[in-house]
């Protein structure tokens, strides 16, 4: 039964993989935590970010599901909104490719106990407009539409693993000076690649059918 949903899972996970890998507020926070409290603390914050993604994931799926019960055309509206947002991200990525900005660590972060770091990551993610809009775009694909609790559980577990894996990788890699130097040198190409992917994902999302 799960195999029937794999195409939708893969499409949604591809968008999530790029979203979780893209530099943003979470990366800046993890960079600051790594500099102030080390890798272990950054990994705890990454766990909070991943849990925040689960909260948004469930909320967007529930919201779109309720709307579909009232009017099936609302899914098309969400798809168009998600596609437009992805195009806006593509424009932003191409602009950054032309003029790559620096990502600075938040060096003023105080040392905090681990449960505070977890809650900081959780709070950052659930209040991040970029994360919410990404999840609206992902949910509008309807990857779990028509599936039962088991399908939803598998999808959410996979999404959690991707979110945690990507942010944990940032936490580990950004604490390494050679990686930070290499990223700065190649960021123009990274942003251009992200822009191309966002354009592709926007088109696929706009023409997708239930």
Amino acid 106: pLDDT = 47
Spatial contact of 23 and 92, defined as CB atoms under 8 Å apart: no
Amino acid 85: pLDDT = 66
Question: Quick check: helix, strand or coil at residue 9?
Answer: helix
What's the whole-model pTM score?
A: 0.66
Contacts 24+ apart (CB under 8 A), 87-96: 87/198, 87/199, 87/202, 89/194, 89/195, 89/198, 90/194, 90/195, 90/196, 90/198, 90/199, 90/202, 91/195, 92/195, 93/191, 93/192, 93/194, 93/195, 93/198, 94/191, 94/192, 94/195, 96/187, 96/191
Give the closest residue to 82 by CA, choosing from 19, 5, 164. Answer: 19
Nearest-angstrom CA–CA distance, 119 and 135: 20
In order along its 210 residues, the chain shows pLDDT tens digits of 677 788 888 888 888 888 888 777 677 778 767 766 778 888 999 999 999 999 888 888 776 655 554 555 665 666 677 677 668 767 877 887 787 655 554 444 455 677 888 988 898 788 776 777 778 778 777 777 777 888 888 999 999 999 999 999 988 887 666 765 666 677 777 678 767 877 876 777 677 654
Nearest-angstrom CA–CA distance, 131 and 127: 8
List CB contacts of 49: < 8 A, sequence separation 6 or more.
Answer: 26, 121, 122, 124, 125, 163, 164, 167
Amino acid 23: pLDDT = 72
Dihedral sign (CA 78, 80, 164, 14): positive
């Amino acid at each position: 039964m799960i195999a029937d949903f794999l195409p939708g899972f893969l499409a949604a996970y591809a968008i999530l993989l790029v979203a979780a890998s893209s530099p943003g507020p979470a990366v800046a926070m993890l960079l600051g935590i790594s500099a102030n409290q080390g890798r272990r603390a950054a990994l705890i914050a990454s766990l909070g970010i991943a849990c925040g993604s689960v909260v948004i994931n469930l909320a967007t799926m529930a919201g779109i599901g309720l709307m579909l019960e009232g009017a099936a055309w609302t899914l098309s509206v969400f798809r168009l909104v998600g596609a437009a947002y992805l195009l806006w991200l593509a424009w932003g990525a191409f602009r950054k490719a032309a003029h790559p900005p620096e990502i600075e660590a938040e060096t003023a972060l105080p040392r905090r106990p681990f449960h505070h770091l977890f809650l900081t990551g959780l709070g950052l993610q659930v209040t991040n407009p970029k994360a919410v809009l990404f999840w609206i775009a992902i949910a509008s694909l309807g990857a779990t539409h028509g599936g039962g609790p088991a399908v939803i559980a598998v999808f959410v577990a996979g999404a959690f693993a991707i979110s945690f894996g990507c942010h944990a990788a940032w936490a580990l890699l950004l604490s390494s000076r050679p990686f930070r130097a290499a990223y700065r040198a190649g960021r123009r190409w990274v942003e251009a690649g992200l822009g191309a992917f966002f354009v592709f994902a926007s088109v696929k999302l706009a023409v997708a059918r239930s």
